[in-house]
Structure 1
Amino acid sequence: MKGLRIIIFVDLSDPNSQLHLRDPGVSGSLSTFFITSPKFTDTIFHFSQPAAASVVLGVNQDAYSEVNLDYIKTHDIRLARRGAGGGAVYVDPGNLTYAFIDNDDGRNYLNFKKYATPAIHVLHKLGVDAEMTGRNDLTVDGKKFSGMSSLKIGNRFSCGGTLMIDVDLDQAAKALTPPKTKLASKGIKSVHSRVTNIRQYFLPQYRQITFAEIRRLLLEEVFQTTDLATIPTYTMSEADWQQVELIAQNKFTDPDFIMGTKRDDDFFHGNHFDGLGTVEISFSVDDGIVTHARIFGDFNQANGHLKVIEDKLIGTPFKKDNLEEAFRTTNLSANIGPISAAEMADLMLNPHFQEVN
């Protein structure tokens, strides 16, 4: 892969790894392990295929507005939350997930196109007219088949995405319930009309290609070799997996982390901002004063201190100038992303942004 120095491929295909990966909370802890473990300091590439259906939330999202909780419970679909930003995704055995772990060189963090390039090149070879659109989506024929997200801890970060190959689209559409502003920003009315599987776009000679063959093509593209035996490969030890399990137990399998607290505010407003994503705010107002506020969204800033913003709003008069002043003192760029105090104030004041769910 030109411009990216890949050192290690972490092979997760062994039986022990597959056993651990059955829990989406554990698989979601892998990035944190690879980023924080002193054992790994070079670039890492890995991919996995979910053993069962699950919905994975972005770190800043509201589970109660993004997911049909009754449906996923009835259909035994697991719910998980990753440490990275981005939006909710439905994954099942028809999905291939890939990720890079890299060191921030000042140019590569949140450079989604760079890390999507190997997948795009492979898909072009298979006949898919894939392209990157928006911040972090891969699309074909105007439909999304991959979403990407990133998590940064210290000077290392993960960047990866999903490839929808044979996903159950009907189940995905019923499991996900994104707010209307997100769908409107894409110019569509439902999840089903927005996403697609890519197998139907493969050239006839590749229409029956297996997941193993796709993984091989990705490895050849990433490492620029057809001899897979020459690729530096690492297999997870049981001691490694115990560390991953500990990370999961401390955070990613915690029901409070996954679900969050159910909203109980007077208002819930949301809007999609180009180059940032969807930002939502749940808030209450009493006698012209903001008494409570919580911020959600699919923006990719995973390490922002949203509580700093929420706490600053409490006690602020519900007026344009006062709200803007409060937002100006909360470092919005670091905590949410490229959004102005005026835009955040308008998000709260404008009834047009009221969400139905």
Structure 2
Amino acid sequence: MSNKNITTKLICSSSHNPWYNLAMEEHLLKQVKTNEIILYLWQNDNTIVVGRNQNPWKECRCKDFENNGGKIARRLSGGGTVFHDLGNLNFTFIMDKKLNNLNRQLKVILEAVNNLGVEANFSGRNDILVSGKKFSGNAFYEENASSYHHGTILVNSNIDNLITYLKVSKEKISSKGIDSVNSRVVNLKSIKNDITIENVKASIIKNFLKIYGGNPSIEYVNNSVYPLESLYSKYASWEWIYGETPKFDINFMNRFVWGEIDLNLKLDNGIIDSVVIYSDAMDSKLIKNIEMLLVKTPFKKESIFKNLNTICSDINTTNLIYDIKKWLETKVG
């Protein structure tokens, strides 16, 4: 699609409250128009954000963090847990699904940091790196005719707090061939001392308009001028952040190339009565679909595999389901 058919919009949040900023992100996802792409820039202060299907108790030191004034939030997208403070900038491309083009969206970010004197590249399933170290993690979500791609940019974040409060599994670290979180992440300011949040933000906006066109003014939002009571209540609620943690009869865990699966099952007379799957897999909706398909299924390999086979819709999903089935082959009778 040529740029002449695309409408662009720039929105910056002046709130540092994660529950408001995530509510605004979902609001924009529901409101984005046909052939429109929105660049949304936002910051959270002293916040841990878990992926849609993650267990916060496992991913971070929840009580210690909250006792020290931190907020815990849960986003719609999959992927892993991240730490946000005011040394970190978040970006979200919110768009008509037809405009979703990862290479083009990444070009906005990569050229923005390149223009500030940092040579960066996209690597793995969701990381942007400089000199082999990660300064940006990315995640994705789609709903009906809309989708978003969002990510973090470590500019001058407190890495010590990140290390203190996040619990990164040894399996995840070793799968990346490194020995600590500290050796894996980097602030842009440590690469080039004159980089700031403001000049990163300005460079991203400049490159967004260069690549997508248009000349919109920046709209600033916060809860006092743009209240989102219902969505805010959702993101701030205990139920959304923590959810229930019922007792399960069976727990299986494994780490795959594409992420971790922590499968919890409660049985009733040989039938799967309830399921919770914790995962940092990127496809958050797929994990929820697997949960729903397993409920009321006999705890037998043939029955479970039959249901799993119904969701092999594309090559990535097919490969993921194949991996899960191969793993469960030795777990289920």
- When normalised by structure 2's length, the TM-score is 0.84
Per the alignment, residue 270 of structure 1 pairs with: 254
Deviation string 1:26-61 (CA, Å, 9 cap, x unpaired) is 1111121112137897221121222x2100011111
> Cα distance 1:96–1:56, how it changes in 2: closer, same or farther (>3 A)?
same
Per the alignment, residue 8 of structure 2 pairs with: 7
Give distance in 2, aligned partners of 1:301 and 1:208: 37
Per the alignment, residue 46 of structure 1 pairs with: 40
SS at match of 2:183: helix
CA shift, 1:240, in A, is 6.7
Per the alignment, residue 347 of structure 1 pairs with: 327
Per the alignment, residue 295 of structure 2 pairs with: 311
SS at match of 2:152: strand
Per the alignment, residue 355 of structure 1 pairs with: none
Per the alignment, residue 84 of structure 1 pairs with: 77
> What is the letter of the counterpart of residue 184 of structure 1?
S
Given candidates 22, 39, 43, the residue that maps to 1:28 is 22
Per the alignment, residue 325 of structure 1 pairs with: 306
> What is the letter of the counterpart of residue 309 of structure 1?
L
> Cα distance 1:342–1:279, how it changes in 2: closer, same or farther (>3 A)?
same
RMSD after superposition:
3.1
CA shift, 1:172, in A, is 0.5
Given candidates 160, 175, 190, the residue that maps to 1:170 is 160
Stretches of structure 1 lacking an aligned partner (at least 5 in a row): 13-17, 352-357
> What is the letter of the counterpart of residue 299 of structure 1?
A
> Cα distance 1:262–1:150, how it changes in 2: closer, same or farther (>3 A)?
same
2:270/2:298 contact within 8 Å kept = no
Per the alignment, residue 68 of structure 1 pairs with: 61
CA shift, 1:62, in A, is 1.6
Given candidates 220, 233, 237, the residue that maps to 2:218 is 233
Deviation string 1:112-160 (CA, Å, 9 cap, x unpaired) is 3331211111212223221101122111222211111222222111212
The alignment of Structure 1 onto Structure 2 pairs a total of residues equal to 323
2:32/2:146 contact within 8 Å kept = no
Give distance in 1, aligned partners of 2:222 and 2:266: 50
**Identity value in percent:** 22
Give distance in 2, aligned partners of 1:67 and 1:35: 28
After TM superposition, list the pairs within 5 Å mapping 1:73-152 onto structure 2. 73-105=66-98, 108-109=99-100, 111-152=101-142
Stretches of structure 2 lacking an aligned partner (at least 5 in a row): none
> Cα distance 1:238–1:25, how it changes in 2: closer, same or farther (>3 A)?
closer
Deviation string 1:217-248 (CA, Å, 9 cap, x unpaired) is 221111129xx9x5343344878722x23212
> Cα distance 1:192–1:289, how it changes in 2: closer, same or farther (>3 A)?
farther
2:188/2:195 contact within 8 Å kept = no
Per the alignment, residue 301 of structure 1 pairs with: 283
Give distance in 1, aligned partners of 2:93 and 2:107: 12
Per the alignment, residue 215 of structure 1 pairs with: 201
> What is the letter of the counterpart of residue 245 of structure 1?
E
Deviation string 1:175-228 (CA, Å, 9 cap, x unpaired) is 1113333223212233222222121212xxxx2233222221221111129xx9
Give distance in 2, aligned partners of 1:338 and 1:80: 31
Given candidates 241, 265, 268, the residue that maps to 1:258 is 241
Given candidates 188, 200, 205, the residue that maps to 1:198 is 188
